[in-house]
Amino acid sequence: MRTNIDIDNGLLAEAMKLGGLQTKKAVVEKALQHFVRHHRRKKAWEELRGLGWEGDLDEMRRDIDPNEPLLPDHHKDAAE
């Protein structure tokens, strides 16, 4: 889509240099990508807010026997 907009030339030149971009179009597209990504992440975090975990970590830790292996030892069964 072709659009005419008035953009600060100094800011545009700096963005091109910093981003290693060769065209004004590339700078605008990159900026739009960053803008959209930022706001998608922000929205996702806002949607996750309040979905906290409920429980008692101290109680869960007491349920674990420190002498019991966390995973079964499959190598032991194969050797027998």
Query: Residue 27, Cβ neighbours under 10 Å: how many?
Result: 21
pLDDT (0 to 100) of residue 80: 56
Contacts of 35 (CB under 8 A, 6+ apart): none
> How much is the CA Rg of the chain, to the nearest whole Å?
27
Q: pTM of the prediction?
A: 0.58
Q: What are the mean pLDDT values of the chain's consecutive 10-residue runs (80 residues total)? A: 92 96 96 96 88 75 71 63
- 24, burial (CB in 10 Å: exposed 0-12, middle 13-18, buried 19+): middle
The answer to whether 31 touches 37, Cβ cutoff 8 Å, is no
